Homo-oligomer: A and B are copies of this chain.
Amino acid sequence: MQGYKVAVVGATGAVGQEMIRIVEQRKFPVREMRFVASERSKGKILKFLGEDVEVENLSEFSFRGIDIVLSSPGASVSKEYVPRAVKEGAIVIDNTSAFRMEPDVPLVVPEVNPHAIGKHKGLIANPNCSTIQLVVVLKPIREEAGIKRIVISTYQAASGAGSPAMEELREQTRSSLAGEDVEAKVLPSRIAFNVFPHIDVFLDNGYTKEEMKLVDETRKIMEDDSIRITATAARVPVFIGHSESVNVETEKNLEPAEARKILSEAPGIVVVDEPSKDKYPVPVDSAGMDEVFVGRIRKDESIENGLNLWIVSDNLRKGAALNAVQIAENL
């Protein structure tokens, strides 16, 4: 029999659900599909290619015989179970932040550093959603003109914090429109008709962990610690699709027309950049799409070699589930 034995860990979550859909859509060769989650979801029935699959309890699950694990529980859960899964012989593609910065764990975006996959020791990390869409666009720019420095401001969707955060956005918005009080439970601040610069936890240097992921993961994936990066990450009242305002200082001059050309020829990217026709990337258009969308490409006249870009992608697909499945396809 052909195909792989695949387990999806965190199968009931927003990214897990998207992973299952993408495995189906891309006809990934699956011989056997297993769904794994926390004890709470044990016995739940989910569909795979029209068939019922029962959700199994992670703490009782054996990874012996499993070829590939698509993993997206919380970071603390991954930290605990992944070493066991690797020991039991599975190759784990983990979407959490648990192992991303470990030196012997490849951190992979297939369009950018597919060669890193070969170095895996049973575990490959999937980068953070906001990093993936950034590096897909930075790579062709770096190859053409080199990159000195990047200043990033993000506009991130609620789904980046999981399904409960999406539900919170929906409920808070309803309450707010009805003139009722609004309470933040899942997210750290009110999300309905609001913006807040707080994603993941705050670190001692005043940055959030999300902001430092953009710095550290980008350097690791680009295999270049000399790139200078600073970031501000904010949550906006959007369900799906992260947007990023990115200011890039290149080594050599790169004209916007030339940047448009090389980006439109690069894999996984769609250039949407016709301002005169009101065409630029927006999150609602990115939802459900596989590509990274880039537009508003223009010269930054405040430095010698500068470009401003506007980058949007579906944070659950290319930002998480799709990238993980692409890694599996590359294996």
Which residues of A pack against B, CB within 8 Å? Answer: 149-151, 153, 155, 169-170, 173-174, 177, 188-190, 193-198, 202, 205-208, 228-230, 232, 234, 236-239, 243, 245, 247, 256, 275-276, 278, 280, 282-284, 295-303, 306, 308, 310
Contacts and interface: CB of A to CB of B under 8 A. Distances in A.
Interface centre among A155, A170, A297 (most CB of B within 10 A): A155
Count of this chain's copies in the oligomeric assembly: 2
Nearest to A247: B151
B205 A299 contact: yes
Nearest to A243: B195
17 contacts: A150-B302, A151-B151, A151-B247, A153-B232, A155-B236, A177-B177, A194-B284, A195-B238, A195-B243, A195-B282, A198-B278, A202-B275, A205-B301, A206-B299, A229-B302, A230-B308, A236-B236
Given A232-B296, A296-B232, A282 B243 contact: no
Nearest to A274: B202
A310 B173 CA distance: 24
A228 B275 contact: no
A254 B245 CA distance: 25
Q: Which 4 A-B pairs have the closest CB atoms?
A: A206-B298, A153-B153, A228-B302, A153-B245
